[in-house]
Structure 1
Amino acid sequence: MSMRIAVIGATGYLGQHLVDEATARGHQVTSVSRSSGADFTSSDVAQQVVADHVVVLVAVAPRGDMEGKVRPAIAQLAGFASDGGTRLGVVGGAGSLNVAGGGPRLVDTPEFPEAYKAESLEMADVLDDLRANETKLDWFYISPAAGFGGFAPGEKTGSYRLGGDVLLADEKGESFISGADFALAILDEVENRKHVNQRFTAAY
């Protein structure tokens, strides 16, 4: 069934894959990005995006001039989505995943790059906000593998593994997923609704 889906951050690495995958599946996709004049931190833009779509996917990293702005913007979106019955899907980083069942989080390990710590902590706060939300908001939050990003795009294999709050790694201890397959996992969730009001992760 075709759905009206908005992708916020559509011109970014993952955003482009999400637009391509959703379009290939026959969904009606709206690309939302600052480069097209649509700033989702704006209340008017956020309200309109939620009103016009049944699913809103947020693929925006709080880095550069967006640091400190993504968390309140997603909270604002969540308020509109709860009122309008729109499903909100948020893509976070791998930093909030536990490296083992009892922790610690990846972001809290000595090896975690300092350059990515602020954005990782902000997205971890977004997850906390969603989990604490006591409205009727319909949401999911997905974290990628540790080695995910435009620096290592990979190929589309059509397969992936899913996990919960613990970082997934292969038998060699490597944690990776391509942009195309991560988008595949996200659109599968959009269509199949297996992680309602939950965080999950996807990797090979």
Structure 2
Amino acid sequence: MTKITVLGATGFAGSHIAAEAASRGHEVTLLSRSTPQDPPAGARVIQGSVLDGDVLSQALDGAEVVVGALSPRGDMEGEVADAYADIAARLAGTPTRFIIVGGFGSLKNEAGERIVETEAFAPEYKPEAQELFAAYERVSATDVDWTYVSPAGTFGSFVPDQTRRGEYRTGGEEAFFDADGNSVISGPDFALAVVDEIEADAHVRKHVSFAY
């Protein structure tokens, strides 16, 4: 059993990761600005913001793994990179792992360019993607045992099929696609991949990606 704190635990990625971790017997702490509607049984729930130092300290206390699943939206717009840098500073010198759920835009294309920096990337999503990549740059420069995880290009609550297939593929920081040229993964299978990573401790200080 691992003590896992999930930040942004009511969001799409965070809620799936928390549920998967709890189902596998891990001790889960949820931190979110809003109250979880259906938290996993036995989970410790903390309502508040990561921008509140006292709340954050409470959420991090005793954690063996911290999963950052924050979205740079609303009052977190422009705040995520700073928040993650603060968390990394708090975890410095400890064995606690820090897993950050980033974005597809942080990956590289075949030419070695960051996808978010290309003209093909949708302009309306660039601010969020750039914020998440900034978080990667800042945390990866620390000595914390970080892992930065990028989901597939098609990932989120807008995807109709959220089936848990029980499968996924793991890549590095270059985007990869299936035989039909698609990059997709469901919330449950992304969570499966993240919790597998927590248990295997396989990609410390690396940028990885999960897709079908």
TM-score, scaled to structure 1: 0.93
Q: CA deviation at 1:65?
A: 2.3
Contact 2:108 2:175 in 1 (8 A): yes
User: RMSD value over aligned CA atoms?
Assistant: 1.3
Say if 2:14 is the partner of 1:15: yes
Change beyond 3 A, Cα 1:83–1:51? farther
Contact 1:182 1:202 in 2 (8 A): yes
Contact 2:84 2:139 in 1 (8 A): no
Say if 2:163 is the partner of 1:150: no
Q: CA deviation at 1:190?
A: 0.4
Which runs of structure 2 are paired with 1:28-177 in the superposition (5 Å)? 28-36=27-35, 37-100=47-110, 102-133=111-142, 135=143, 137-152=144-159, 153-177=161-185
Aligned partners of 2:64, 2:182: CA distance in 1, in Å?
36
Once the two structures are superposed, what CA deviation does each residue of 1:37-61 show, in whole Å capped at 9, x if it has no partner?
3211222222222222111101111
TM-score, scaled to structure 2: 0.90
1:66 partner amino acid? M
Where 2:61 maps in the other structure, the secondary structure is helix
Contact 2:16 2:187 in 1 (8 A): yes
Aligned partners of 1:42, 1:52: CA distance in 2, in Å?
18
Structure 2: segments with no counterpart, 5+ residues: 36-46
Q: CA deviation at 1:107?
A: 1.1
Aligned partners of 1:78, 1:60: CA distance in 2, in Å?
14
Contact 1:162 1:202 in 2 (8 A): yes
Aligned partners of 1:85, 1:192: CA distance in 2, in Å?
15
Once the two structures are superposed, what CA deviation does each residue of 1:13-59 show, in whole Å capped at 9, x if it has no partner?
11111111001100111110011432112222222222221111011
Q: CA deviation at 1:114?
A: 1.4
Q: Quick one: percent identity of the two aligned structures?
A: 43
Where 1:39 maps in the other structure, the secondary structure is coil
Aligned partners of 2:93, 2:51: CA distance in 1, in Å?
18
Q: CA deviation at 1:202?
A: 0.4
Say if 2:189 is the partner of 1:190: no
Higher helix share: 1
Structure 1: segments with no counterpart, 5+ residues: none
Q: CA deviation at 1:99?
A: 1.7
Aligned partners of 1:161, 1:112: CA distance in 2, in Å?
23
Contact 1:131 1:197 in 2 (8 A): yes
Aligned partners of 1:142, 1:42: CA distance in 2, in Å?
25
What residue number does 2:25 align with? 26
